[in-house]
A and B are shown apart, each in its own frame.
Chain A
Amino acid sequence: SQQGEEDPQALSIQEGENATMNCSYKTSINNLQWYRQNSGRGLVHLILIRSNEREKHSGRLRVTLDTSKKSSSLLITASRAADTASYFCATDNTHGSGNTGKLIFGQGTTLQVKP
């Protein structure tokens, strides 16, 4: 079942602006990951944040995690047209995944960055 929910479902911004996407989940997690998917292509891992971490950076990406609110946000700073893609959060939760290693994906946020 899908436990992650991204918000907003779609986001359109101008190049150079920041883009913020949010993800909420329902159960306790080991870690939360963000993936990017260009149209019809494979998912690419962006960043992983563990349940005991609150913030993580990677280049222009900043991820925060609030386990008390069961939510995470992905911030892309100084966006570029090449950032246009769908972004998914995925959780490796302590209940549903068990020993299967399954990631539970959200529905994704479609980001359009206009040149």
Chain B
Amino acid sequence: EAQVTQNPRYLITVTGKKLTVTCSQNMNHEYMSWYRQDPGLGLRQIYYSMNVEVTDKGDVPEGYKVSRKEKRNFPLILESPSPNQTSLYFCASTRGGPQGPLWNNEQFFGPGTRLTVL
């Protein structure tokens, strides 16, 4: 089954304790992205990756890191989490890239990770 998976689905942690949220897709998609969803603010892009070893900042990258060592995986790293990073996080992938012939930007979302930072 074509899908995007995220782990963990739920996480409660404390300020300053490094954590990683994993994201994996099995559709051989080039483009991957992380969003956070907050009440009243909608979905905002954190980071994106156009392909392996190519990542860039989205709208709200502060406090986050990403890596793209393999095509299928795009982990989100919080080096020193703070309470304002309490949110619902979504990973998404898209076939092709913005300049490529397959591109239509239809995004496939993972199930979400609900993170609480105390």
Which A positions have Cβ atoms within 8 angstroms of B?
Answer: 1-2, 30-31, 33, 35, 40-45, 48, 88, 92, 97-103, 105-108
Contacts and interface: CB of A to CB of B under 8 A. Distances in A.
Contact of A41 (B56, B94, B111): B111
B106 A2 contact: no
Contact of B107 (A97, A99, A103): A103
Interface of B: 4, 31, 33, 40-43, 45, 48, 50, 56, 58-59, 88, 90, 92, 94, 97-99, 103-112, 114
B109 A42 contact: yes
Contact of A101 (B41, B43, B88, B97): B97
Contacts of A30: 105
Contacts of B59: 1, 102
Given A101-B33, A101-B48, A102-B59, A2 B108 contact: no
Nearest to A42: B109
A48 B45 contact: no
B105 A43 contact: no
B51 to A, nearest CB: 11
Contact of B48 (A42, A92, A102): A102
25 contacts: A30-B105, A33-B105, A33-B106, A40-B88, A40-B112, A42-B109, A42-B111, A43-B90, A43-B92, A43-B107, A45-B108, A48-B104, A48-B106, A88-B42, A99-B98, A100-B45, A100-B58, A100-B98, A101-B31, A101-B33, A101-B97, A102-B33, A102-B48, A107-B40, A107-B42
Contacts of B98: 97-101
Nearest to A2: B42
A101 to B, nearest CB: 5
Given A2-B41, A42-B90, A103 B109 contact: no
Nearest to B39: A107
